[in-house]
Amino acid sequence: MMRAKNVMYFTPDEENLANLLTRTGMKRNVARVLVYLAHNPEATSRDIERGTDLRQPEVSLAMTALTRQRWVENHEIKAENKGRPVKIYHLSNPLVEIVDSIEREKREEANIQLSLIQEIRGYIQ
């Protein structure tokens, strides 16, 4: 007998948001996980795999990147059948604050590039 699976897909808006984040320079898988967690307050890595259509190693790498940025936190709950505890992930800040920090970072990068161009102009005039 086949079991029914609850398969979740990104909405067009979620897909667009992930694509926009990718265009800012964020890795595609990181962007997909970030968007997923923005729309799901808590999720296991298995939930994230299913919801983002990513494989376990891709989710793991994305989680490492998001945790390093301090955008994602986790806590553990005991597994139902004596196995390893299950990690539950959630955003550490609202998505709007994360976007604010991306904006600050991009402005800083742009200002550095512009000041380098000004310095270059000093050599060629």
Confidence (pLDDT) at 24: 96
The domain locations on the chain are 1-92, 94-125
Tell me the pTM.
Answer: 0.85
CATH 3.40.190.10 fits 1-92, yes or no: no
Quote the tokens at residue 76.
């553990």
By the 10 Å C-beta count (0-12 exposed, 13-18 middle, 19+ buried), 86 is classed as middle
Give residue-wise pLDDT tens across range 36-84: 999 999 999 999 999 999 999 999 999 999 999 999 999 988 877 778 8
Confidence (pLDDT) at 6: 55
Q: How far is 110 from 18, CA to CA, in rounded Å?
A: 22
